[in-house]
Amino acid sequence: MRLRGKTGFTLIEMIIVVCLISILLAITLPSFHKAISKHKFERATQEFLSDIRFLQQQALAKSYEKYIIELHGNLNGNYYTLKDLGLASNQVIKKVYLPVGVKFDDYFGNNQTANYTLTFSPNGNINNGVGMTIKVYQTDLKRTKYIIISPITSRVRLSDSPSNT
């Protein structure tokens, strides 16, 4: 019996296509990992900046309350907690763990263990209007962002370079 039209692919054609797809994946996956890692870092720094601004606004809106952010860095990971010290004593509003490889670095004097507190006054000042810079570092891509809190006004901004003030 004779086949009228051959349809389908030969085994050799299938093997060649699978090899080409494997080569393309091997080339693109490392750059995809970098893009995901970069996105996690950007998202973490933006969320930290937003949380600082949120507590600053809460302190202004409820002038009788006091808010703090506690920064923690250790070998098990870096995280920060937002706390309300007002009517409900030491109430944790939010606890945020930074992604793996993202840490608060050098600001604390070492990169092994660290604890620091940002205090929000009823007038919106952070740490009584003393300016500061918090360094957020990503280990795998060697990226750094700085959260800069201006003196006196306590304006909060994100920068790629440290402030001179």
Residue 76, pLDDT score: 63
Each residue's pLDDT expressed in tens, for the chain with a length of 165 residues: 555 667 778 899 999 999 999 999 888 887 888 888 899 999 999 999 999 999 999 888 887 668 888 888 776 668 898 888 876 667 888 999 888 888 876 554 444 446 778 888 888 888 877 888 888 888 888 888 998 888 888 888 998 888 665
pLDDT at 14: 93
Gap between the Cα atoms of 48 and 53, Å rounded: 9
Tell me the β-bridge partners of 120.
67, 126
Q: Which helix (H) or strand (E) holds 74?
A: strand 67-74
Question: 79 has which bridge partners?
Answer: 72, 97
Domains and CATH numbers, the chain: 13-159 (3.55.40.10)
pLDDT of residue 87: 66
Please answer whether residues 142 and 50 qualify as being in contact, where contact means their C-beta atoms are separated by less than 8 angstroms.
no
pLDDT of 108 reads: 47
From residue 127, alpha-carbon distances to 23, 41, 119 in Å are: 54, 26, 5
Q: Which residues pair with 72 in a beta bridge?
A: 79, 115
Q: How much is the pLDDT for 88? A: 62
